[in-house]
Chain A
């Protein structure tokens, strides 16, 4: 059953929730729909790519950063120490990125980036707007598997 058909079915069974499908209650500003909390311009500036994951909360600990093509399985990469000042940057260095990240930053200017629980961009998602960073939700922290640029949000086909 496609999600679109499910929308009609939900109306029939009277469910009023549907935060998951986004069909009912709305969200307002970006700050309630995503994990944006700080600007990536906050010192020390570490994220030079579109997607950066950190071993520790608050953009601390070892780092992993990727280009715009996304990563369908973070198990193929490891965190590394970029020697950033005041960042405890060696914590977690050498550990697999998959299921070990606590925070993230989006270093792009024009692309929304997302982190998913499952490989391939499946399951629950944490979203970051361009130039923003945030801590992963409790269900995603140390439980993330893939990252993806959200091309659906870019009509010009920029983010692939």
Chain B
């Protein structure tokens, strides 16, 4: 997978490219902000997979409990989420390359040619990523009731479920639960404990106490180490079974990250000029 920094950079450059494309047609788009760096707040506080095995950082839970850490710099910042349904029909046409009124591909807007699949597809083209099916094509109309795309996503999902059922992980959960009980907390499943506390907008002492004990017991029982090793075994086997396709994906990744690096450098130079 992309590293968290690469993923954030990919998202950032995608928003820059999308905004620039919309601007060519006269539409405004929110400023993407500064280019992400390794010290960007969002990266230092959270990443997509950091809570796969529950909480694990003693410093974080002492402050946040089971709540998602929030960087100070994002506190109070107004969200600028844009919904496709909230855009004007004209902007939807340019965004997607599909006319919601005629239900057909949109070729141009006010005399200017719309890129294939709209401005939304420009970032994927710039990165050399595989485009999604066009909404007006047969593939786009087929919602494929029995298909799940994303090989790596599927392999990760399978290994996760397999590891949860593995007797070694089941035994580790039991040892963790015993440790929690000795600490005065009655919890049987480390992945269900957080849900009991998240109805409050911010962490309270009981939550922080439980989460702190949770992390401590994980360390004492080596729950995460065992779980990680068990899941890795299942993933190793899956990697061997799918080695050909994963090699293709890896080659695609190398190309895409090279394109990403080039785009980021170009944007940095543009900012300096």
Contact residues in A for B233 (Cβ distance below 8 Å): 17
Check if A28 sits within 8 Å of B54, measured CB to CB: no
Whether, in the assembled complex, B144 has its beta carbon less than 8 Å from a beta carbon of chain A, the answer is yes
What DSSP secondary structure best describes chain A's contact surface? loop
* Best-buried of A3, A37, A109, A140 by chain B (most CB within 10 Å): A109
Check if A73 sits within 8 Å of B195, measured CB to CB: yes
- The 8 Å CB contact of B145, one of A28, A111, A135, is A135
Whether, in the assembled complex, B7 has its beta carbon less than 8 Å from a beta carbon of chain A, the answer is yes
Check if A26 sits within 8 Å of B239, measured CB to CB: no
Whether, in the assembled complex, B150 has its beta carbon less than 8 Å from a beta carbon of chain A, the answer is yes
Whether, in the assembled complex, B209 has its beta carbon less than 8 Å from a beta carbon of chain A, the answer is no
A86 to B47, CA, bound (A): 38
Whether, in the assembled complex, A83 has its beta carbon less than 8 Å from a beta carbon of chain B, the answer is no
Count the B residues whose beta carbon is within 8 Å of the partner chain — how many?
A: 117
Check if A28 sits within 8 Å of B15, measured CB to CB: no
Interface residues of A in 34-80 (CB under 8 A from B): 34-43, 45, 47-50, 56-60, 68, 72-73
Whether, in the assembled complex, B21 has its beta carbon less than 8 Å from a beta carbon of chain A, the answer is no
Check if B229 sits within 8 Å of A15, measured CB to CB: yes
B positions within 8 Å CB-CB of A? 1-4, 7-8, 11-12, 15, 18, 30-36, 40-43, 45-54, 56-57, 66, 68, 71, 73-74, 77, 79-85, 87, 92, 95-96, 98, 100, 103, 117, 120, 124, 127, 129-130, 132-135, 140-161, 191-192, 194-195, 198-199, 218-219, 222, 224-225, 228-229, 231-236, 238-239, 246, 248-257
Can you spell out 14 A-B residue pairs with CB atoms less than 8 angstroms apart?
A: A1-B222, A10-B228, A17-B232, A19-B155, A34-B149, A37-B133, A38-B132, A47-B85, A49-B85, A50-B81, A110-B18, A120-B68, A134-B149, A156-B80
A positions within 8 Å CB-CB of B? 1-3, 6, 9-10, 13, 15-22, 25-43, 45, 47-50, 56-60, 68, 72-73, 103, 107-112, 114, 117-127, 130-140, 145, 148-160
